[in-house]
Structure 1
Amino acid sequence: MNLTNIKQPFTEVFPGDFSGNPLQRNTPKVLFSSVMPVDFKKPKLIIFNEKLSEEIGLGKYEEKDLGFLVGNHLPDNIKPYSTAYAGHQFGNWAGQLGDGRAIYAGEINNAEGKITEIQWKGAGATPYSRHADGRAVLRSSVREYLMSETMYHLGVPTTRALSLSLTGENVVRDILYSGNPQEEKGAVVVRTAESFLRFGHFELMSAQQEYTTLQNLLDFTIQNYFPEIQSEGIQKYKDFFENVSTRTADLMVEWFRVGFVHGVMNTDNMSILGLTIDYGPFSMMDEYDLNFTSNTTDLPGRRYAFGKQGQIAQWNLWQLANALHPMIKDEKFLEDTLNKFGDYFWKKHDKMLCNKFGFDQLLESDEDFFVNWQGLMQEFQLDYTLFFNLLEKIDATSDLKTEFEKIAYVPLDEKALSKIKDFINQYELRLEKNEISRAESLELMQKNNPKFTLRNYLLYECIEEIENGKTTLLEKLITALENPYEEKFPEFSVKRPSKYDDVSGCSMLSCSS
């Protein structure tokens, strides 16, 4: 790989701690701290994303590059660092946080001038590790690598994964916080994004009343990542907040489209660019449930449940608005922008559902149709992805009992089948109101309804295989996730096997990684 073009303009602009001290501590009035990754003695590459490497300007992988991919043997031009940020966690102000397991190598420009930041995740402690070791286990690293790439190929804004490597050491984790810590294999993921800046970076500077740095951070962010903003003065910052609000709403709609549940929508896990970041206890939706939360830490309140993600995004934007208020100084503008979020989100959301159902336009009656559909999905625990796949195929000759039993997680009696039949009849009547042909309607559905989503039980099986030195399932999943709107492997287009219903890691997860 070509590592000579990696630069670090962020550290040249903002105040930082250059001591290189990795001990966990507060670092007031700085946005980053220099830190060196751990020197892992026996690393082993599991997978390298050649397509991404070529795209961002790093080029082809050579065996000598493994040292870089785990943070060893760094070229002289790379001066690693981690950033400080703050945040609201589960609705409570948490104060200074930061990159506890992420270390920046820097950024690189490709031939087209596109900026890409590069991070190691799991390469050792930083000042922001909060009494943790800064390592990552294989389990969580496999999940992040595969899920971030899945989201990219689904068309959802996201960070991406460049490589996944074993570190050659074991890491102790208590997976369910049950007082039973165990050793697990350690791993490092190299992940990339246009920027990893979060709401929390702005919250930290505002909370510390470092308003000059806050303004510099805003100017830096707008100049580098929001070229569409050409205004000046306070209007520039207003345009920025409106843009972030729109991107955030768009991201939430995409999560709903593919059935993604983040699990930890704290403000420090919210991207300023509207990207999906920090893949922890996430889940793709199996049986449809608006109250489903993928995070055991989120019980019993279910703050970050699937159906609440739009609402939580708006709440998080309120916190960002408070942080930016010293620069914008216009409470009415901020309130109006936040109040518009809901209208914008629901219009986009309902248009998204129209696309999934193959409707060419949103009709006034569709609100009742969608409510009836949600009730049907939840009552009979129908599989979210498989439902829309089935809807593309059934017709008047279909055996509804046989077909819907394949996608329901509860038994279907005659009463249930009668309700399902009534809904399908309603759906057929609604399709007749389209101004496009049935073929065009079907094409619209196929573009918006994935055939493959990366279910937790598949990740569970893949992780077990990799821990046993096998990569057969990993390779199949890579092929499937790179072609999510095609049915490459029919064996993946089935509901979660019942044997995994109560297995930890196959439905809900903890944050322990």
Structure 2
Amino acid sequence: MNIESIRQPFIKKFPGDFSNNTMQRNTPKVLFSTIKPAGFDRPQLIAFNNVLSEEIGLGKYEEKDLNFLVGNDLPENVQTYATAYAGHQFGNWAGQLGDGRAILAGEILNDSGKKTEIQWKGAGATPYSRHADGRAVLRSSVREYLMSEAMYHLGVHTTRALSLAFTGEEVVRDIMYNGNPQLEKGAVVIRTSESFLRFGHFELVSAQQEYKTLQDLLDFTIENYFPEITSSENQKYKDFFENICTRTANLMVEWFRVGFVHGVMNTDNMSILGLTIDYGPYSMMDEYDLNFTPNTTDLPGRRYAFGKQGQISQWNLWQLANALHPLIKDEKFLEDTLNKYGTYFWEAHDTMLCKKFGFDELKKEDEEFFTNWQGLMQELELDYTLFFNQLEKITADLDLKEHFSKVSYTFLNEEKLGKLKNFIENYESRLKLNSISREDSQKLMEKSNPKFTLRNYLLYECIEEISSGNTEMLQKLTKALENPYEEIFPEFSTKRPSGYDDTTGCSTLSCSS
């Protein structure tokens, strides 16, 4: 790996705290603090993404690179740092937050000039750890490593994962926050992104009324990550906000397409580039439920439930608008842009659903069709991914009970079968309104509906195996997630086994996950 080519353009641009100590504290009027990773004496590599490493310009892994992957023995040119940001958590202003267990190595350019930031997660405490230890455990690290790559191959914008390694330490965690802490194996992930800038970075400097720094941060972000914005002065900030709204809406639509539930959509977990970031108590959808949240912390109000992700993203954008208002200075523009967000989102959402069903275009009557479908999915407890896979295989002489019982989490009695039969008849009638052939309709469905999604029970089994020293399932899952629109391992394309319905760390997750 060519780690000597890492550079630090961010810290050259902005003021920072160079105290280089891990004492958790407020750091007003700065955007970052330089900090060294903790260092680990007995690291062990679990997985390395050679393809990604080549793409971003680091080259292939060599045995000597292991120390760098856990933050040991850094080259002299690497000045590591953590950034400060703020945010709204579960709807409430939380004040200063920051990279509590993430430390940035810097940025690298590949041969084509593409920039990629490299960041350790779990490499030790920072000034923003809020009395935590900055470490990560194996289960959360495996979940981040595999799921970020799974989303990438599904075609969803996301951060990515370069490496996964044991630290050789044990870390104390209370996974369900119920007074039962346990020792768990420590691990570090290196994740990559074009940028790790979040809504919260802008919220922080705006809340501190550091408007010159806010302007510098906006200019830096537009110059480095939004080349499509060519306007000047105040207009470029308006174009910037509109661009973020569009990117965020498109991301939410993609989450709905593949059945992804983030679980903790705080503003500090929202990427300014419209990327999926911070894989904590997430879940891919098993049985379809608009009110499903995988996060036990979210259960009282289900703020971040699957069906609410569109409106929550809009709420988060309102908070970003408030932060940018001191520079944009146009309340009507911000209000109009945010009011248009819902219209754009739902049109994009319904167009996406059309493709999942094999419809060539969105028609006025499709809104009622989709509403009826949602009701059917919830009543029959149909598996989201597997339902569409089965829908692709519909034939005239099909035994509906046998066909769809494989993807239902409840017993399909005569009443439910009648409703399913009626839906399929309506679906066939709607297909006849297409201007494309049935064959082309089938191709549209196959491109939109994955055959494989990385379900929590599969992750749970994989983590258990890695803990016992076996990486066979890790390798199989990696191959499957790299080819999600093919059925490479049929045993992975099944509904969740009932034995996992209430398993801690599988069906029930917390922010510690």
**TM-score normalised per structure 1:** 1.00
User: What is the CA–CA distance in structure 2 between the aligned matches of 1:21 and 1:241, rounded to whole Å?
Assistant: 36
Number of aligned residue pairs: 513
Matched AA of 2:48: F
Matched AA of 1:423: F
User: What is the CA–CA distance in structure 2 between the aligned matches of 1:239 and 1:422, rounded to whole Å?
Assistant: 47
In structure 2, the partner of 1:15 is 15
Matched AA of 1:282: Y
Matched AA of 1:46: I
User: What is the CA–CA distance in structure 1 between the aligned matches of 2:494 and 2:314, rounded to whole Å?
Assistant: 34
Asked if 1:207 corresponds to 2:190, the answer is no
CA shift for structure 1 position 287? 0.2
User: What is the CA–CA distance in structure 2 between the aligned matches of 1:271 and 1:158, rounded to whole Å?
Assistant: 9
In structure 1, the partner of 2:294 is 294
User: What is the CA–CA distance in structure 1 between the aligned matches of 2:370 and 2:508, rounded to whole Å?
Assistant: 27
In structure 2, the partner of 1:226 is 226
Matched AA of 1:427: Y
Matched AA of 2:83: T
Matches within 5 A, 1:348-387: 348-387=348-387
User: What is the CA–CA distance in structure 1 between the aligned matches of 2:166 and 2:237, rounded to whole Å?
Assistant: 43
CA shift for structure 1 position 438? 0.3
Q: Is the 8 A contact 1:283 1:508 kept in 2?
A: no
Q: Is the 8 A contact 1:381 1:410 kept in 2?
A: yes
In structure 1, the partner of 2:455 is 455
Matches within 5 A, 1:484-495: 484-495=484-495
Q: Deviations over 1:278-331 (max 9, x none)?
A: 000000000000000010000110000000000000000000000000000000
User: What is the CA–CA distance in structure 1 between the aligned matches of 2:39 and 2:232, rounded to whole Å?
Assistant: 46
In structure 2, the partner of 1:246 is 246
Which runs of no fewer than 5 residues in structure 1 stay unpaired? Answer: none
Q: Deviations over 1:422-474 (max 9, x none)?
A: 10010000000000000000000000000000000000000000000001110
User: What is the CA–CA distance in structure 2 between the aligned matches of 1:455 and 1:481, rounded to whole Å?
Assistant: 11
In structure 2, the partner of 1:307 is 307
Matches within 5 A, 1:28-177: 28-177=28-177
User: What is the CA–CA distance in structure 2 between the aligned matches of 1:397 and 1:190, rounded to whole Å?
Assistant: 51
CA shift for structure 1 position 39? 1.5
CA shift for structure 1 position 506? 2.0
CA shift for structure 1 position 505? 2.0
User: What is the CA–CA distance in structure 1 between the aligned matches of 2:190 and 2:222, rounded to whole Å?
Assistant: 26
Q: Deviations over 1:224-252 (max 9, x none)?
A: 00000000000000000000000000000
Matched AA of 2:167: T
Q: Secondary structure at the match of 2:95?
A: strand
User: What is the CA–CA distance in structure 1 between the aligned matches of 2:506 and 2:169, rounded to whole Å?
Assistant: 26
Matches within 5 A, 1:415-430: 415-430=415-430
Q: Is the 8 A contact 1:50 1:61 kept in 2?
A: yes
CA shift for structure 1 position 49? 0.1
Matched AA of 1:279: Y
Matches within 5 A, 1:447-486: 447-486=447-486
Matches within 5 A, 1:323-362: 323-362=323-362
User: What is the CA–CA distance in structure 1 between the aligned matches of 2:127 and 2:327, rounded to whole Å?
Assistant: 29
User: What is the CA–CA distance in structure 2 between the aligned matches of 1:65 and 1:21, rounded to whole Å?
Assistant: 25
User: What is the CA–CA distance in structure 1 between the aligned matches of 2:397 and 2:7, rounded to whole Å?
Assistant: 62
Q: Secondary structure at the match of 1:410?
A: coil
Q: Is the 8 A contact 1:293 1:508 kept in 2?
A: no
User: What is the CA–CA distance in structure 2 between the aligned matches of 1:170 and 1:312, rounded to whole Å?
Assistant: 36
Q: Is the 8 A contact 1:150 1:454 kept in 2?
A: yes
Q: Is the 8 A contact 1:148 1:161 kept in 2?
A: yes
Asked if 1:403 corresponds to 2:403, the answer is yes
Which deviates more, 395-404 or 479-488? 395-404
Matches within 5 A, 1:178-193: 178-193=178-193
CA shift for structure 1 position 402? 0.6
In structure 1, the partner of 2:280 is 280
Matched AA of 1:463: I
Q: Is the 8 A contact 1:107 1:115 kept in 2?
A: yes
Which deviates more, 110-119 or 393-402? 393-402
User: What is the CA–CA distance in structure 1 between the aligned matches of 2:132 and 2:441, rounded to whole Å?
Assistant: 52
Instruction: Give the % identical residues.
Output: 78
Which deviates more, 353-362 or 503-512? 503-512
In structure 1, the partner of 2:269 is 269
Matched AA of 1:136: A
User: What is the CA–CA distance in structure 1 between the aligned matches of 2:511 and 2:475, rounded to whole Å?
Assistant: 26
CA shift for structure 1 position 167? 0.1
Q: Secondary structure at the match of 1:494?
A: coil
